[in-house]
């Protein structure tokens, strides 16, 4: 499975990672190599196999619907690169 340059650029865009031309070229061959290698899974017929969702059968626990945490806006924005009055600040989105 070989990945073309346009695909690398599309994937990088989806992943929100800016990449240079040089990186795109390197990634094209690296990603193709990895995808070629994982293609050996095609040898297995998995038509009647259920996907694994849990390691051990276990019922998901329910918790009470009640407030257990909160009132800590200062802690939440403490690590933000830019904040104002308990809001995260980002570049302008709506003109």
Partner 1 sequence: MTDLTDLTISDAREGLAAKSFSAVELTEAHLAAIEAANLAINAYVLTTPERAIDMAKTSDARIAKGEAGALEGIPLGIKDLFCTKDVRTTACSHILDGFTPPYESTVTANLWNAGAVMLGKLNNDEFAMGSSNETSFYGDVVNPWRRKGSDAPLVPGGSSGGSSAAVAARLCLGATATDTGGSIRQPAAFTGTVGLKPTYGRCSRWGIVAFASSLDQAGPIARTVRDAAIMLGAMAGHDPKDTTCADLPVPDFEAVLGQGVKGLTIGIPKEYRVEGMAPEIEALWQQGIAWLTEAGATVKDVSLPHTKYALPSYYIVAPAEASSNLARYDGVRYGLREPGKDVISMYENTREAGFGAEVKRRVLIGTYVLSAGYYDAYYLKAQKVRTLIKRDFDQVFESVDAILTPTTPGPAFAAGEKSGDPLEMYLNDIFTVTVNMAGLPGLSVPAGLSSEGTPLGLQVIGRAFDEETLLRVGQAIEDAAGVMVKPQDWWSTRA
Q: Which residues bind partner 1 (CB under 8 A)?
A: 3, 7-8, 11-19, 27, 30-31, 33-35, 37-38, 40-41, 44, 46, 49-56, 58, 60-61, 63, 72, 75-82, 88, 90-93
Give me the least distance between CB of 94 and partner 1, in Å please: 10
Sequence-ordered list of residues with C-beta below 8 angstroms from that of 5, at least 6 positions apart, any chain: 24, 25, 28
Give me the least distance between CB of 51 and partner 1, in Å please: 4
Q: What is the DSSP letter of 87?
A: E
**Other Cβ atoms closer than 10 A to 41:** 8
- Alpha-carbon gap, residue 13 to 81, rounded angstroms: 23
Give me the least distance between CB of 69 and partner 1, in Å please: 10
């Amino acid at each position: 499975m070989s990945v073309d340059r346009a695909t690398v650029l599309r994937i990088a865009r989806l992943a929100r990672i800016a990449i240079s031309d040089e990186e795109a070229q390197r990634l094209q061959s690296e990603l193709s190599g990895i995808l070629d290698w994982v293609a050996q899974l095609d040898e297995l017929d998995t038509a009647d196999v259920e996907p694994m969702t849990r390691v051990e059968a276990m019922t998901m626990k329910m918790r009470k619907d009640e407030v257990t945490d909160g009132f800590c806006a200062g802690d939440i924005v403490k690590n933000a690169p830019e904040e104002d009055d308990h809001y995260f600040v980002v570049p302008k989105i709506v003109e």
